[in-house]
Amino acid sequence: MNEAKLYNVIRAPRVSEKTARLQEVSNQYVFEVATDATKADIKGAIETIFAVKVEAVNVVNVKGKQKAFKNRNGRRGDWRKAYVKLADGQSIDVMAKA
């Protein structure tokens, strides 16, 4: 997989209180990924970009919310997130600035 495809698969890390807790307790990291990405694509991209060993990948499709703004109804887009479990002793610094 070329480098451009790797960065299209992994869009961004998701950072929240829940994901921080997952990092501490079970060494899992959460990423927003492309809607057409497979588990194998995600695993390969994470291992290549961050030079870590991935044990498991779980994927969740998140439905967009209905929202109203000034009497106009709209809908946020659907997106996909991946829970990535790393091998023991491995870590990713998701707070690093590029």
- Under 8 Å between Cβ of 9 and 39: no
The pLDDT, as a whole number, for residue 97 is: 61
Residue 14 forms part of a structural domain: yes
Give tens-digit pLDDT for 38-83: 999 999 999 999 999 999 999 999 999 999 988 899 999 999 999 9
Give tens-digit pLDDT for 2-48: 788 888 999 999 999 999 999 999 999 999 999 999 999 999 999 99
Residue 15 forms part of a structural domain: yes
Residue 61 forms part of a structural domain: yes
> At 10, which CATH number?
3.30.70.330
Residue 36 forms part of a structural domain: yes
Residue 46 forms part of a structural domain: yes
Expressed as residue numbers, the domain containing 16 is 3-86
Domain count, the chain: 1
Give Cα 19 distance to the centre of its chain. 10
Residue 98 forms part of a structural domain: no
- Residues 33-55 as b/e (b if ≥16 CB within 10 A, e otherwise) read bbeebeeebbbbbbeeebebebe
pTM, two decimal places:
0.89
